[in-house]
A and B are shown apart, each in its own frame.
Chain A
Amino acid sequence: MISVKGLKKSYGDVEALKDVSFEFDRGETVALLGGNGSGKSTSINIMAGLLAPDSGAVDVQGVDPFKSPNEARKKIGVFPDKPGLFPNLTVREHFRFFGGLHGLDGHALDDAVDKTIAMLGIEDLAERITKGFSQGQTVKVALGRAVVHSPDYLILDEPSRGLDIYAVRQLREMLMTFRSAGTGILFSSHVMQEVEILADRLVIIADGVVCAQGQPDALKEQAGTNSLEDAFMVHVERMAS
């Protein structure tokens, strides 16, 4: 389980996180919802051990990512909001490199890379350098890079941004496959249709505070609406008032 408790983080006078607490376990998919600047990316950076909070604690399956960042990172795969591929590396070289950083080598690395390429259905792209890839192809490589070491947890920051409808459906199917295999998934998104289909639970952040969390139906019921989008707005507005 990954748990986040009482996170606070300020950048100068700006309080990015005031009080953020949530958790997610293996085999479940949790959607992190919030407007721009609500603190989603800061929370993800803290979970990955890139940022230290001013106060609060994070536990990645028994590991504190600030004391042992590398140990924590071995358990998670992160899909950043900007994929940032290396344009002169082939897809296979990307996967070998990232798998290697997670301690895979020899046959285990070869198998993991082949398995990831097959799972993403990109055999035809495997030996091509990623320069000039379409947005959909880029997302697939970035996703493969995050999962090549078979992490226990997958954190995705707006993975469907810029994708066409076909690529979105493919991505959704892949995430469902990971969940079925027991991977814990936390993803942020602004697309409520995607959230409704994928998420087992929702965590809504507004102004650096978790204003609501729970199953989609429960949150809709608390907000007195049938639409997830409306429920989101109601919870955020209640927080603001």
Chain B
Amino acid sequence: MMRNIFLILQKELNEVRRDKRTWMVLVSMSLIFPIYMFGVMEFSMKRSSDPKPVEYWVEGAEQAPALISYLTENGFDRAADEDSAMVHMNIPDDFAEKIATGYIPIITLRADLTDEPKSVRDFRSSVQAYAQEIAVSRLVTRGVSPILLNPYQVDIQDTAEHGSMLARYFAPILIVMFFMVPMSALVPAAIDTTAGERERNGLFPLLLQPISAWNLAAGKLLMMTILGLISMTLVIVMSGVVLNFLDLGGLKFSLDTGLRSSVLIVLTLLPAIMLASVILLGVASFGKSFKEGQTYVMIGMFVPMLFVGAGFALDGLWRVHLPFWSEITVLTSVVGGQSVLWWPWIANVFGYVIFITMFLFLIGRGFKRNALKG
């Protein structure tokens, strides 16, 4: 049996190594996506941690010259024109009078908070801080200690561990890179080896040979798994390279692309890659032609996406049992230096083996049925 599976694998590899379409998709997706994903992440993190300087437009500045000076001292400059301003500040005409008589004037800030919300918040804090300064000077003038305003202070300490930060920020990205990218890269090969082969009438002569249809499906699955591993290796290498050039703030995420670490990553993810491959192979085998196979695969791609989507909706305890998420949980724990919770991964692998075996059997039966239908 193993010899037959190996022969099928060898035949599939011989075919696929000459298939330019497969390699074009596999290599380009595996190399471009890490640049894209980490690039977007760096851009987004920089925007939130390194806000743009705020330039504001003010009406009624003559009512509060001291406030304007205070803002300038704190790094907020007035915009040259109204249109380019990030924040519009309106100081009412009776501001000075109300301040002098002890009434509370209202300063209005208008800004689009969908863009640069942190920068706008910083500006608002500065305006608010100036109000505090006025309050403090009033109390001092009346001989009252300003400490009375703050009977106690609150000190927030972030207890988030590095690993959990990584899991939170990187898990969705790692899922896309380590599963969705290899899976998408495998699509042409999956369709070509099933629906494409059927369209070329290549399935029928195979089934006339002394080999079981199950072995045939297993050989094709191994070919897909090898392509998946190649895609994943390219993703790992490219991610390692890209991360050297990125500044991800306090996350300090780095991917060890050394042999030992890479092998560990690959072995952790291998069962899920096989699961994804067998799903692709199964749905593509329904197609009578390459074109029909494409339709089925597009539908089939929703299956892993369901697991990925469910992971976002579930909390951590349940998420670790989901396919793809259990692998990523292990991976982020390893990278983040946390203790690894292996048992959900082991349980999942056991489930995958049963599912893959049954699915291969069904794919084999489908091959027979399809070959006779032509």
Contacts and interface: CB of A to CB of B under 8 A. Distances in A.
A50 B207 contact: yes
Contacts of B372: 45, 50-51
B2 to A, nearest CB: 13
Interface residues of A, number: 29
Interface in B260-302: none
A121 B289 CA distance: 33
A89 interface: yes
Interface in B323-374: 368, 371-372, 374
A176 to B, nearest CB: 23
B14 interface: yes
B205 interface: yes
Contacts of B207: 50
Q: Most A CB atoms within 10 A — which of B204, B205, B208, B372?
A: B208
A74 B211 CA distance: 10
Contacts of B374: 82
B90 interface: no
Contacts of A51: 372
A89 B15 contact: yes
Contacts of B18: 88, 129
B121 interface: no
Nearest to A103: B210
A100 interface: yes
Contacts of A80: 201, 204-205, 208
Given A87-B200, A88-B15, A48 B10 contact: no
Contacts of A85: 200, 202
Contact of B210 (A88, A102, A142): A102
Interface string B194-216: 00010011111101111110000
A73 to B, nearest CB: 4
A98 interface: yes
10 contacts: A48-B208, A73-B210, A74-B210, A83-B201, A84-B204, A88-B14, A89-B11, A89-B14, A102-B210, A129-B18
Interface of A: 45, 48, 50-51, 69-71, 73-74, 78, 80, 82-89, 93, 97-98, 100-103, 129, 142, 145
A-B pairs, top 5 by smallest CB distance, nearest first, are: A84-B201, A70-B210, A82-B201, A88-B15, A88-B18
